[in-house]
Structure 1
Amino acid sequence: MGKSTVAERLARRHGLRRYHADTRTWAHRDRALAAGCPAALRFESLSPEDRWAAPVPDLLAMSLHHERGRMVADDVRALPAGPLTVAEGTVITPATARALPGRAALWLLPTPALLEKRLAERELKPGPLALYRRLADVIEDEVRASGAPFLTVDIDTDVTEEVAARWAAPLAAGPHSASRAERRALLREANEAVVAQYTAFFARPWSRGDVRAAVAPLSCECGATGCAARVDCAVTAFPAAPVVAPGHDGFSAS
């Protein structure tokens, strides 16, 4: 059970806005490029092969781990006050949380067994594999050193209810999106961010592949609080109508 799944479940259940930092990757990189960030400039100047052949410390620098954390804080501050936002992503550090005073924060730290299981499922090449292992160590060190609250997550552990219990007070206080129409609008907003992420990746000058062949797993927009369905959608054919799973067309799922 990953942090993205937990965040989506809580967002659906409580009518929250979901901010997934991964969907802002290229927007953040463009901001770093505009600011003249050396690591961002180097990342874009290298071919994918040369980039991933770099030493792990260089890969970590080019990941913009800390730079992007500050950008996440800026993004979240710019969101509407209501409904509540649940933000998730590996670039959200304790420093990011400190830049957002009054916000509840909790880190999910995988056990070594769970981390290796997730990495194996992604079938990563040596460069990305080394970077993600290093990032996992950096994140855990930052969380433990800061005294930030965390949960240790093991294989097949569902921590959704424990996270909800930790955040019981802010979740109860709201504000929430109470109507199904409002919840559908939030799901559409999250899906638009996913489509924008795919589109921006294929627009990079070094990117390979064809955006017309890209298929994104989107959240079903039926708006039911208990729905967890995904809908595979061609990125270039993202419809104006709601994206819904089979059988949810009438928004009848409870």
Structure 2
Amino acid sequence: MYWIGGGSGAGKSTVARRLADEHGLRLYATDDAMAEHARRSPAPDSPALAEFLAMDMDERWVRRSPETMLATFHWFRGEGFDLIVDDLLRLPPGPGVLVEGFRLLPDLVLPWAAPGQAVWLLPTPGFRRAAFDSRGSTWQIADRTSDPPRALHNLMERDRMFTDRLRAQTRSLGLPVIDVDPTLSERDLVSRVGRALGLGPPPS
């Protein structure tokens, strides 16, 4: 298994799709499993998720500080990671698997990742905002609140702090990271991630 974690808006999904196609790997996107994992998570085992689901949009994104959002967000706390592992272990025999998503917290991935087969992408705030703008998703959450500008500020600040946390965790565990900023082209990013994972050039 190969693992690509990192902050939101870092290009993980794009890079993972390219590498999976080029190297004949099965792709497992943890974002795609979030709704199912939320349904499969009993409240006693996922208290932060249960609390989040009980909130309205303003409680989630307007009336709490970014620091509180960071500290209490269920996926940032590792809730549901066991379900990711369960899904991966149930996959039928076949090609290697490329796993990607922000839910891949360094300390949780480390026991499952072979040396040299995991990397974290850490976007600058400017790159993250540009990525959301290009997707058309910048205001997707914020526009469902009573104060979209404040909600967007809180969300972006929470994600910035999450990226800073990932940097500290990967550094303490000696895990590789790639800094993603606007000067890095998609092609170069794909190439750097492929090298970090030991995939080599795509088969001809």
Q: Is the 8 A contact 1:119 1:129 kept in 2?
A: no
Structure 1 residue ranges, 4+ long, deviating more than 6 angstroms after superposition: none
Q: Is the 8 A contact 2:118 2:196 kept in 1?
A: no
Q: Is the 8 A contact 2:46 2:79 kept in 1?
A: no
CA RMSD of aligned residues (A): 2.8
- Corresponding residue of 2:197: 167
2:75 corresponds, among 50, 64, 68, to 64
The alignment status of 1:48 with 2:48, answered yes or no, reads no
Shift of 1:169: 5.3
Q: Is the 8 A contact 1:16 1:86 kept in 2?
A: yes
- Corresponding residue of 1:155: 182
Shift of 1:150: 1.4
Q: How many residues align?
A: 174
Q: Deviations over 1:45-103 (max 9, x none)?
A: 11112222223343221332222334323322332332111111011022232231437
1:81 corresponds, among 78, 87, 93, to 93
Question: What are the ranges of 5 or more consecutive residues in structure 2 without an aligned counterpart?
Answer: 1-9, 143-151
- Corresponding residue of 1:18: 27
**SS, match of residue 108 in structure 1:** strand
When Rg is computed on C-alpha atoms for both structures, the one with the higher figure is 1
1:137 corresponds, among 144, 164, 182, to 164
- Corresponding residue of 2:146: none
- Corresponding residue of 1:110: 123
Shift of 1:38: 1.9
User: Relative to structure 1, is the Cα distance of residues 35 and 160 closer, same or farther in structure 2, using a 3 angstrom cutoff?
Assistant: same
2:59 counterpart letter in structure 1: D
Distance 2:26 2:75 in 1: 25
Distance 2:47 2:131 in 1: 31
User: Relative to structure 1, is the Cα distance of residues 102 and 83 closer, same or farther in structure 2, using a 3 angstrom cutoff?
Assistant: same
User: Relative to structure 1, is the Cα distance of residues 80 and 91 closer, same or farther in structure 2, using a 3 angstrom cutoff?
Assistant: same
Distance 1:64 1:57 in 2: 15
Q: Tell me the TM-score normalized by structure 1.
A: 0.59
**SS, match of residue 80 in structure 2:** helix
Aligned-residue identity in percent: 28
**SS, match of residue 90 in structure 1:** coil
Q: Is the 8 A contact 2:170 2:177 kept in 1?
A: yes
Shift of 1:154: 1.8
Higher relative contact order (CA 8 A, sep 6+): 2
